Chains A and B, each alone.
Chain A
Amino acid sequence: MTRLNLLLLLIAMASAMLVVRAQYEARRTFAALDAAQQRAMQLQLDHDRLQVEVRALSVPGRIEELARHALGLVPVTPARTDYISAARLPSLPASIPTR
């Protein structure tokens, strides 16, 4: 009888330890998940911010300023444009944007 009690006591203690450990693990994993989520959000914000920065660097006003003054370009006119009909165009690689 005493042995059985001792065994049960041991089992009870072991399970108590496991519960504590499981709880600890769960909280640690949750903290990691939370940190990862925070990071994902931060990266999303950074992505948005960088997109805005890209746009700020490519606004027509800035491009025109650079084209006119730094590169000495002039606006395109029909007189200096060679128009090619779409039928004469060889198919372009998909990587080339057409707009």
Chain B
Amino acid sequence: MQSGVLGALSSRALGAAPRQAQSSPLLRLRLAPGRAWLVKGLLYLAFAALIGRALWVQVITTNFYQQQGDLRFIRTIELPAMRGRILDRHGNILASSIPVKTIWADPETLEADPGKVRELAQLLKLNTAELQRRLSLDKQFVYVKRQVDVDTARRVQALGIKGIYFSPSYKRYYPEGSAAAQLVGFTDLENQGQAGVELTFQKDLAGHSGTRKVMRDRLGNVIEDVGGGVPPVNGDDVQLSIDSKIQYLTYQALKDAVTSNKAKNGSAVVLDATNGQVLAMANYPSFDPNHRSSMTQSDMRNYALTDTFEPGSVMKPITIAAALQAGVVTPQTEFHTAPGCLNVYGNNICDDSNNGTIALPQVIQYSSNVATSKIVMRMNPRIQWDMYTAVGLGQRPQVPFPGAASGLVRPWEKWRPIDAVTQGFGYGISVSTFQLAHAYLVFANHGRIIPATLLRSSAPPQGVQVVSPLVAREMRSMLALVTQQGGTAPGAAVPGYTTGGKTGTAWIWKGKGYDKHLFRAQFVGMAPIGHPRVVMAISVDQPSGGKHFGGDVSAPVFASVVPQALRILGVPPDLPVKPDVAPAITATANPNAAVPPSKPANPLHKEGA
């Protein structure tokens, strides 16, 4: 049925068309043959144009189009290198980078009502009015806040403000805070080392940032690695020889000494006597490297290495060791120091009191300027100078730290006779606290001087024999007298360990002469004196709290740090101690054995109660 209708329709239509064409003059085709060729030609031309264009695009100018395509889809991503950490000798972190967010805004596309801005300001602890002002600037980029911790950034993200963006970055964090601030140093917002070890080892710590070339789709997802990128190289860790516990103890003790004596500043250095490694280097005043807004220039100074001063009597053992080594004196040599003053080349040199006739050990014990002057006058200045330079005075310490001071030891040829004498007891010469500690290594390390180092190393140190082991031992036994009753620093005695050292209290040069009301208090000591394990030097500038002697101001720092340091280093006591608690249950004893109830086995229980 259907096909019949269709057939009828088509036959009618076919029949109708020629009839209409014949009847209508308009539909009668009378085309000139050239016109057909023209249309054909135009069509060919169009095809030729297409082919030409294809050739142009795909063969001749391919590079240009390839570049334009790459520009739209291929991105080079910057891969930042992670800055290396600074570690102490046990691998504890002294400085490390933590990921943070930089929050920025595009004020042109920002969509935030005043309520949202207020919330944002509260979250980031910013001033609302100031933030509002910045967000209404006619710019496409303003920082909202840099170095925002990840949790806060997440909360800001949750506010869902359009036009606020987050980019990843790193922030340096210093867990030790102010205890090692000057030594470790700090970095700026761009993660460049600005001070201390952070500055010295900038190259090693920084590493190299890398790049990655990727293809992104319309939504910004990475869909292909194009290649041609450079992988980032993370910075190396730097391991220092510092022991963070000893560092903290030293800083605390020094801080107490400086504040209780109302001093201007103080510095202390603890060295491992066996290998010259720096166990602690502390300074006060200090700053918290994590919050540097209130930091001053003087807080930043690593006084122990960068500041030099006239050391005073702590030089005497070094001078006397030179004399002993040269055979100018022996431990039995006696000196007449009465009446307590001596006129040398027109200058009056005095002791604190009249010591009468004393032997060499007492010269150290009582710190006699008169006897030391007499020793120096018997000695060739060259010998004295050789000794000073051999122990590292007047030379820049070979430690990787910016601005380490060399101090001043003038060439012996230029000394006037009085210069040799005054330098013998520490005036007319300048040293740093670090140099003092290092110089005393010669006594602690059996007459050998080894280079002091800030980096942890297991290689045995290469030393130079400066004085004989016998002279070093004799000197140590003299230094031991100083910390005993009758010496100048009984305050440096510690329970359980033998100690030795030398005090120094120097006047400070002001204008044209020494100000006899301004002092610098030094103490350099070592323990245990038989086989020293640590050498510690302390210098406190201008104590004004009533005490000013090295034995009163600086020696207590030694006494509070050294026993703890020796315990941390695992050095057993070399003096008998009267236990003030019952011995704990030994490891071999039966833990269930009865313990007298009046003597608790664990001393901590007793203290805690």
Contacts and interface: CB of A to CB of B under 8 A. Distances in A.
B530 interface: no
B587 A31 contact: no
A31 B563 contact: no
A74 B225 CA distance: 60
Contacts of B497: 78
Interface stretch (A5-13, A14-22, A81-89): A81-89
Contacts of A69: none
Given A51-B93, A78-B496, A59 B608 contact: no
Interface in B573-587: 573, 575, 577-581, 583-584, 586-587
Interface in B201-235: 217, 221-225
Interface in B558-584: 563-564, 567, 572-573, 575, 577-581, 583-584
B607 A74 contact: yes
A78 B586 CA distance: 16
B564 A75 contact: yes
B223 A27 contact: yes
B355 interface: no
A73 B607 contact: yes
Contact of B588 (A27, A74, A88): A88
A72 B609 CA distance: 8
Given A30-B223, A31-B221, A79 B579 contact: yes
22 contacts: A27-B223, A30-B223, A45-B99, A48-B97, A52-B96, A59-B177, A60-B245, A60-B247, A60-B249, A61-B176, A64-B252, A73-B607, A76-B567, A77-B496, A78-B567, A79-B495, A79-B578, A79-B581, A81-B567, A82-B584, A82-B586, A90-B588
A48 to B, nearest CB: 7
Nearest to B177: A61
B223 A48 contact: no
Interface residues of B, number: 49
A55 B495 contact: no
Given A76-B567, A79-B580, A31 B222 contact: yes
Nearest to B79: A41
A78 B96 contact: no
B603 A31 contact: no
B603 A59 contact: no
Contact of A77 (B175, B177, B495, B584): B495
Interface residues of A, number: 33
Nearest to B150: A49
B165 interface: no
Interface of A: 27, 30-31, 34, 45, 48-49, 51-52, 55-56, 59-61, 64, 71-84, 88-90, 99
A52 B173 contact: yes
A73 B564 CA distance: 15
A72 B573 CA distance: 25
Contacts of A82: 579, 583-584, 586
Nearest to A72: B608
A30 B177 CA distance: 44
| Interface pairs A-B: 7 shortest CB-CB | A78-B496, A60-B248, A78-B573, A55-B93, A55-B175, A27-B223, A56-B175
Given A59-B176, A78-B575, A89-B587, 18 more contacts: A30-B223, A30-B224, A45-B99, A51-B93, A56-B173, A56-B175, A59-B177, A72-B608, A73-B607, A76-B564, A77-B495, A78-B496, A79-B495, A79-B577, A79-B578, A82-B586, A83-B573, A90-B588
Nearest to B214: A34
Contact of A52 (B93, B217, B252, B577): B93
B483 interface: no
B493 interface: no
